[in-house]
Amino acid sequence: MLIATSAALFALGLLGVIVRRNVLVMLMCMELMLNGVSLSLVTFAQQTASAAGAVLVFLIFVVAAAEIAIAIPIVLLLVRRKNVLDLDAYTDLKG
Amino acid sequence: MIETLLLWLFAGTALVAAVLMLVLRHPMRVALALTATMLSLAGVYAMLGVHVIAVFQVLIYVGAVMVFMVYAIMLLDVRDRSFTRRFSSLLLPGIAAALLFLAILAHGLWQALPEPTGAAGGTLFGLKRFSAEFLNDYWLHFELVSVLLVAAVVAALAILEVGRRLRG
């Protein structure tokens, strides 16, 4: 059942990334997806009583911290340029 | 018994807060809902007996990542179209795609998973065993991830430098 919970968390995060407009909210939904994955890893680690899953979760924490440390400056620069948080405003690369 | 009850309570709170993240309007409230999700997940980890991960979840996610996020929301308090219209035009296709994805995931998991055996409560592995296994067997991953962290810091500095140059 915890695996089902983690799958639901991942799907909710994916839905948030697709559906919401706000850049910061989309970033937070990506964090939610990472949390769903780490819940499944912890559940597997508990079921198999091995430390590998827990180690992987620890590495995911570091990756999430690195991701947010790069994403936030990018968002800051984007918003300073256009003063909009709506992702639909950033269509500069659209052909 | 009480452990199982608490486990489901924490898991349910995490799911409810995750749904709230999708429907709330203000980014700060979304951040608070995400913090609630992370704290309840920490509770789930503690109930599963993986206390090390529960502590790190609170310290790193709630303590570092979410505080950073909240600062960014404070800096970028822009009330634009994303505030009045929460959802993009992809709302219905997005819901359909997420449901389809969840169905495929559930179908795959249903066939692949063995019967769950572990019960809630009790310490599975403490800090001692986790640290010993981590630094004995996975020291290379530890070093690689520290390299990744250094690269991320350098990249963040480089991004800010580019922004400064663009503004002149």
Q: Structurally, how many domains does chain B consist of? A: 2
Say yes or no: B75 contacts chain A, CB-CB below 8 A. yes
Q: Minimal Cα distance from A43: which residue of B?
A: B48
Q: Determine, for residues A12 and B141 on separate chains, whether the beta-carbon distance falls below 8 Å.
A: no
Contact assignment for B61 to A61 by CB distance below 8 Å: yes
pTM for the full predicted model: 0.87
In angstroms, what CA-CA distances link B130 with A38, A41, A47, B142? Answer: 16, 15, 16, 13
B15, B19, B76, B81: best mutation site toward chain A, by most A Cβ within 10 Å? B76
3-class DSSP assignment, residue B78: coil
List pLDDT tens digits, range B85-141: 777 777 788 888 888 888 888 888 777 766 555 555 455 677 788 888 888 888 898
Task: Look up the CATH number of the domain holding residue A56.
Answer: 1.10.287.3510
Say if residue B77 is in the same domain as residue B2. Answer: yes
Do B70 and B145 sit in the same domain of this protein? no
**How far A93 CA sits from the closest chain B CA (Å)?**
18
3-state secondary structure at position A76: helix
Average pLDDT, chain A: 86
Nearest to A25 by CA among B55, B159, B49, B34: B34
- pLDDT for residue B118: 52
**Which is more confidently placed, B7 or A84?**
B7
Question: Residues of A with CB below 8 A from B138's CB?
Answer: 55
At B97 the pLDDT is 87
What is the predicted pLDDT for the residue at B39?
A: 94
Q: How far apart are alpha carbons B31 and B67 in whole angstroms?
A: 9
pLDDT at B46 over 80: yes
Q: What is the pLDDT of residue A1?
A: 80
Contacts of B149 in chain A (CB under 8 A): 62, 65-66
CA distance B88 to B86: 7
Q: Number of folded domains in chain A?
A: 1
Same domain, B76 and B143: no
Residue A76 lies in a domain: yes
Size of chain A, expressed as the number of residues it contains? 95
Task: Please give the structure tokens belonging to residue A67.
Answer: 């991701």
Q: Which stretches of chain A score pLDDT less than 50?
A: none
**A86 pairs with which residues across the strands?**
A22
* B56-70 mean pLDDT: 89
Q: Across the interface, do B152 and A70 touch by the CB < 8 Å criterion?
A: yes
Torsion of CA B87, A23, A33, B111, to 10 degrees: 40
Residue B60: DSSP 8-state: I
The reply to whether A94 falls in a domain is: no
Are the CB atoms for A13 and B19 separated by under 8 Å? no
**For residues B88 and A29, is the Cβ–Cβ distance under 8 A?**
no
- From the list A14, A21, A64, which residue is nearest B98 (CB)? A14
